[in-house]
């Protein structure tokens, strides 16, 4: 949803700049003007090239200078500052949710490992082996859970 909204805002700025700057080569062709807008979004603004340079060396006059500069200021404030920071914020929040899920999964695996280890230590064959060697009484002090003979009382 965010990417669709983000792309629509970029397309709106692209079309607006094509209307306001018809003589500029950067905004004459749709695919290249979108790529130019993406490069402007990353920080490569080139203010002098957009507003003061003309390829043939003549003085360049914008048809609507106030509207163009106002739109350019809005583009910088919305796209470069707000949307890029929002995109970074969404990425960080996704990472935090992944970290909390990973911590929960890690705890679940630890509980499973403890259960399996204690099930192995409390098995009847191992208990008989411990009884033969006289090492049965100290084992219960190290276990986290208690093993029951009745499976319904677990």
Q: What is the pTM of this model?
A: 0.54
Instruction: Please report, for residues 22, 109, 117, 154, the alpha-carbon distance to residue 147 in angstroms, rounded to integers and kept in the order given.
Output: 81, 20, 12, 8
120-140 pLDDT tens trace? 877 777 777 777 766 555 555
In a domain, 114, yes or no: no
Q: Are residues 70 and 141 in the same domain?
A: no
Q: Are residues 142 and 96 in the same domain?
A: no
Instruction: Yes or no: say if 73 and 35 are a contact pair by the CB < 8 Å rule.
Output: no
Q: Are residues 26 and 96 in the same domain?
A: yes
| Residue 146: pLDDT over 60 | no
- Cα–Cα distance, 133 to 126 (Å, whole number): 11
**Could you list the residue range(s) of the whole structural domain that residue 144 is in?**
122-153
Of residues 141 and 51, which shows the higher confidence score? 51
What is the average per-residue pLDDT within 73-96?
81
Res. 150 pLDDT band, cuts 50 70 90: low
In a domain, 11, yes or no: yes
């Amino acid at each position: 949803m965010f990417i669709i909204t983000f792309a629509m805002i970029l397309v709106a700025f692209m079309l607006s700049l094509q209307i306001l700057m018809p003589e500029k080569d950067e905004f004459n062709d749709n695919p290249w003007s979108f790529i130019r807008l993406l490069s402007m979004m990353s920080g490569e603004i080139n203010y002098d090239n957009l507003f003061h340079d003309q390829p043939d060396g003549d003085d360049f006059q914008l048809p609507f200078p106030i509207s163009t500069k106002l739109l350019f200021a809005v583009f910088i404030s919305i796209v470069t500052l707000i949307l890029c920071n929002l995109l970074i914020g969404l990425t960080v929040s996704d990472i935090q949710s992944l970290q909390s899920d990973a911590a929960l999964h890690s705890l679940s695996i630890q509980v499973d490992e403890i259960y399996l280890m204690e099930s192995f230590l409390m098995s009847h064959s191992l208990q008989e082996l411990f009884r033969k060697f006289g090492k049965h009484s100290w084992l219960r002090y190290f276990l986290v859970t208690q093993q029951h003979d009745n499976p319904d009382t677990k």
